[in-house]
Chain A
Amino acid sequence: MKDLVRHKSLLSTEIESSLNQQIKKEAHSSSLYLAMASWCDRNGFDCSAQYFYDQSEEERKHQMKLFHYVLDMGGTAISPDINNIKIEYMSFREVFEDALEQEIAITQSFKNIAAKCHKEQDFVTLEFLNWFFKEQREEEFKARRALELFDLIGEAGTGRWEIDRHIAKIKYSEGEEA
C-alpha cells in the first residue's frame, strides 16, 4: 500500500495541531496589540500607538508565515477564531507589562513546538522555526526595553510624554556596535 500519511503531508498530526495552535496565538497577539494601540491612541500616547500598530502588523505576518508553511507542507491550516481581547488598561505601564508577558508566552510556545519537533525528528519544521526564535529575540528585547524606560525616565511630571517619545526609538541591533 502507498504511504498515504507521508504522501499527503510532511507534518505529523501532532506538529500540525501545534502549528495551528501557534497560528491562533499569533492572531491573538495581533489583536491584543491592536487593542493596546487603540488604548494608547485614545489616551494621547501617539508614538506608543504607532509602535503597537506596527507590532500588530508584525504578529499578523508571523501568523501568515505559519499559515502558509502548514499549507505548503500538505497540512490543513485553520483560520482562528479570536475573542475576549482586553481593551481597557489601568495605566500606561500596564500596557507594556502585558506586551512583555505576551512575548514571553509566545517564545515559550515556540520552544514547546521545537521540543516536539526534536522528539519526532522533524528537522524540517525545526529549521523553519529558527526564523521565529530570531524574531523572538528582537520582540522580547523591545518589550523589555520599553518597560526599562519607565524606570529610567520615571512617570512623574512629563515623564509619560517623554517615555512615549522614546518608545518610537527602540531598535534591536543584535549586539552590533553602535
Chain B
Amino acid sequence: MNQLAQITQTEVFSTNFGSISHCPRTDLLTLTFSGKTVTYKYPCLQRLNKVINQVDLAKMTDASHSGLEIIFLCGAEDCFVLDIHEILGLKDLLHGTFTMFNLNSTIKDCLQRVI
C-alpha cells in the first residue's frame, strides 16, 4: 500500500538535504528533510517557506544563541529543530520547490492556456 502511494508521488525538487514531492490525487506535498517525512497542504508549505525566510541567520551565529531554531507551524503536528546548516539546506530546498511551482505555472500558461 505504502509502495503504491510512493509510486503516485511526483518529485517537485530535491537537493542533497532532502526532497519535496506532490501527490496528484490528494494534492498533498511530502517534505523529506533532516530524517523526517512530513505531509503538508500547499498553503502550509507556503507558510513554512515564509517562516524559514524570516529566520535571522546572523543572530544564530551569536555566541549567546543556542545555534538551534525551532520551526513550528500553527495547525501542523510536526516541528523541526534545525541548526544553521539545516536552515540553509531547507531554505534552498523550498526556494527550488517554489521556483519549480512557478515555472510549471508559466509553462502551463504558455502551452495550454494562451490561445
Binding site for B on A (CB under 8 A): 1-8, 13, 76
Question: In the complex, which residue of chain B has the Cβ closest to the Cβ of A74?
Answer: B43
Number of A-B contacts (CB under 8 A): 27
Q: How far is the CA of A76 from the CA of B108 in the complex (A)?
A: 24
In the complex, what residues of A have CB within 8 A of residue B64's CB? Answer: none
Question: Does B27 belong to the interface (CB within 8 Å)?
Answer: yes
Question: Does B15 belong to the interface (CB within 8 Å)?
Answer: no
Size class of the contact patch on chain B: 10 to 19
Contact of B43 with A1 in the complex, beta carbons under 8 Å = no
B13 to chain A, nearest CB (A): 11
Question: In the complex, which residue of chain B has the Cβ closest to the Cβ of A16?
Answer: B46
Question: Does B12 belong to the interface (CB within 8 Å)?
Answer: yes
Contact of A2 with B24 in the complex, beta carbons under 8 Å = yes
The 9 closest A-B pairs by CB, nearest first: A5-B105, A3-B108, A3-B105, A5-B101, A4-B42, A6-B105, A8-B42, A1-B10, A1-B104
Contact of B12 with A1 in the complex, beta carbons under 8 Å = yes
With contacts A8-B42, A76-B43 known, is A2 near B12, CB below 8 A? Answer: no
Give a binary string over B72-98; 1 marks a CB under 8 Å from any A CB, 0 the rest. 000000000000000000000000000
